[in-house]
């Protein structure tokens, strides 16, 4: 009988006990069968990709864990009438199996001269997990390139083809994170084929750079384009500097990535914070001053009598640092610590327990709430415990 495999060996944070049962299907058909079988039983179940966004309890999981390891990238047929090749190239559509490692996918697209996800380089995890929280970094989000997913629905047990519009994609969220249960089998991306530019410019160009820190690192202006390979290398360098690229020799990378999301608050609340607190304007939200029947104004446009709610996004890292929690901070006797490179990551310095991770996360929440009145929301998925 084989030894149980702990979550500490299956997740990038390297904490957690063993699941009662671990299944690793070889292909998509096997993955569907294993998932339906788990759903039909009375046992708890969960799906696990790269484990880069998971914090599991020390006593493990009393149920079935299905490892999503299916691989493959398929170029889909081109549209009947291809778009005219312009500065953004022609469209190229690909279908990616859920278990395909995300960064390997990005590397493949860059090597082929396909633009659209190059700024998402270095993000750990699998492709099937990417739409769950609409991954994003350095001015790009998956939502900008995702066209559809193939989804095994928990309620019906059937495979459905869902468009990106069906997924309610928002800042680090989707309907898949908000309660719609099931399994992402594959994702479809619509990228821009810039390979034809290589003959003229010497390299396939990225989409316009629209993130200030990235533009500064590249030495270009916002809106400029650079070679895809150059942009990918710059993003990997920026992420490595924050301990956000997996490295077996660097404990700062033994984390779940950014542990807290950047809070989105009202503009009026943001004015109560120190003037130097970073903030980024978000899209205005209309709040009706009365209940509106859904069929009365659906698709008509602005709602009469609506109040405009202006919101801004804050920097969780700034809030943490300015609440007195510095890089490398740890509670006495704990093996969990804030990254020495970036205050937004909680790391395992060696032998940390899930309880220690939770204690530090709660401490961070309490300090930020006490100083700024903001309750930071965790980004990882918790298995077997919570921060409440």
**Which residue in the list 121, 127, 258, 339 is annotated as catalytic?**
258
The CATH code of the domain that includes 81 is 3.30.465.10
Q: Residue 43 belongs to what domain range?
A: 7-67
Quote the CA–CA distance of 163 and 148 in Å, as a whole number.
4
Q: Is 2 among the domain residues?
A: no
**Do residues 255 and 214 both lie within one domain?**
no
* Range list of H helices, 85-157: 102-111
When the pLDDT of each residue in the chain is averaged and rounded to a whole number, the result is 91
pTM here is 0.84
CB-based burial label for 154 (10 Å; 0-12, 13-18, 19+): middle
Weakest-pLDDT range from 1-5, 55-59, 176-180, 337-341: 1-5
Q: Is 196 among the domain residues?
A: yes
Q: Which of 47, 67, 87 is the last residue of a domain?
A: 67
Strand 306-309 versus strand 285-288 pairing type: antiparallel
CB-based burial label for 70 (10 Å; 0-12, 13-18, 19+): buried
Number of Cβ within 10 Å of residue 174's Cβ equals 22
**Do residues 140 and 169 both lie within one domain?**
yes
**Do residues 306 and 337 both lie within one domain?**
no
Per the annotation, the verdict on 172 as an active-site residue is: yes
Per the annotation, the verdict on 258 as an active-site residue is: yes
201 pLDDT band, cuts 50/70/90, is: confident
Q: What is the DSSP letter of 68?
A: -
Q: Is 297 among the domain residues?
A: yes
Tens digits of residue pLDDT in 357-378: 999 999 999 999 999 999 999 9
**Do residues 88 and 228 both lie within one domain?**
yes
**Do residues 147 and 59 both lie within one domain?**
no
Q: Is 338 among the domain residues?
A: yes
Tens digits of residue pLDDT in 92-148: 999 999 999 999 999 999 999 999 999 999 999 999 999 999 999 999 999 999 999
**Do residues 213 and 296 both lie within one domain?**
no
For residues 285 and 29, the model is more confident at 29
Structure tokens at 11: 């997740």
**Do residues 293 and 179 both lie within one domain?**
no
Question: How many structural domains is the chain composed of?
Answer: 4
80 pLDDT band, cuts 50/70/90, is: low
Per the annotation, the verdict on 271 as an active-site residue is: no
Q: Is 333 among the domain residues?
A: yes
**Do residues 223 and 256 both lie within one domain?**
no
Q: Is the dihedral of CA 198, 223, 136, 323 positive or negative?
A: positive
The CATH code of the domain that includes 24 is 3.30.43.10
Q: What is the DSSP letter of 96?
A: E
Residues 6+ apart with CB under 8 A from 128: 49, 68, 97, 98, 99, 100, 183, 184, 185, 186, 187
**Which residue in the list 21, 172, 327, 330 is annotated as catalytic?**
172
């Amino acid at each position: 009988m084989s030894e149980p495999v702990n979550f500490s060996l299956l997740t990038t944070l390297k904490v957690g006990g063993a699941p009662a049962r671990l299944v690793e299907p070889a292909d998509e058909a096997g993955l569907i069968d294993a998932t339906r079988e788990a759903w039909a039983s009375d046992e708890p179940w969960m799906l696990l990709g790269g484990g880069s966004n998971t914090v599991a309890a020390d006593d493990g999981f009393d149920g079935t864990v299905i490892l999503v390891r299916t691989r493959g990238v398929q170029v889909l047929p081109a549209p009947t009438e291809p778009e005219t090749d312009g500065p953004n190239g022609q469209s190229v559509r690909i279908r990616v199996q859920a278990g395909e490692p995300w960064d390997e996918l990005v590397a493949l697209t860059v090597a082929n001269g396909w633009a659209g996800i190059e700024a998402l380089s270095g993000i750990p995890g699998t492709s099937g997990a990417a739409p769950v929280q609409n991954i994003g970094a350095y001015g790009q989000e998956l939502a900008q390139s995702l066209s559809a997913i193939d989804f095994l629905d928990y309620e019906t047990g059937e495979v459905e083809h869902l468009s990106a519009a069906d997924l309610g994609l928002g800042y680090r969220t989707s309907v898949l994170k908000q309660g719609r249960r099931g399994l992402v089998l594959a994702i479809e991306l619509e990228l821009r084929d810039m390979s034809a530019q290589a003959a003229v410019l010497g390299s396939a160009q990225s989409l316009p750079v629209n993130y200030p820190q990235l533009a500064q690192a590249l030495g270009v202006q916002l809106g400029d384009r650079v070679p895809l390979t150059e942009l990918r290398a710059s993003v990997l360098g920026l992420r490595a500097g924050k301990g956000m690229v997996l490295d077996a020799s660097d404990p700062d990378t033994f984390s779940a990535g950014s542990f807290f999301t950047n809070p989105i608050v009202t503009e009026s609340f943001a004015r109560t914070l120190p003037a130097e607190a970073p903030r980024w304007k978000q899209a205005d939200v209309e709040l009706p001053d009365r209940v509106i029947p859904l069929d009365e104004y659906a698709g008509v446009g602005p709602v009469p009598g609506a109040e405009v709610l202006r919101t801004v996004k804050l920097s969780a890292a700034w809030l943490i640092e300015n609440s007195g929690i510095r890089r490398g901070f740890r509670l006495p006797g704990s093996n969990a610590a804030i990254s020495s490179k970036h205050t937004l990551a909680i790391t395992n310095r060696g032998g940390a327990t899930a309880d220690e991770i939770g204690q530090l996360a709660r401490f961070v929440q309490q300090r930020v709430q006490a100083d700024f009145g903001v309750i930071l929301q965790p980004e990882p998925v918790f298995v077997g415990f919570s921060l409440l």
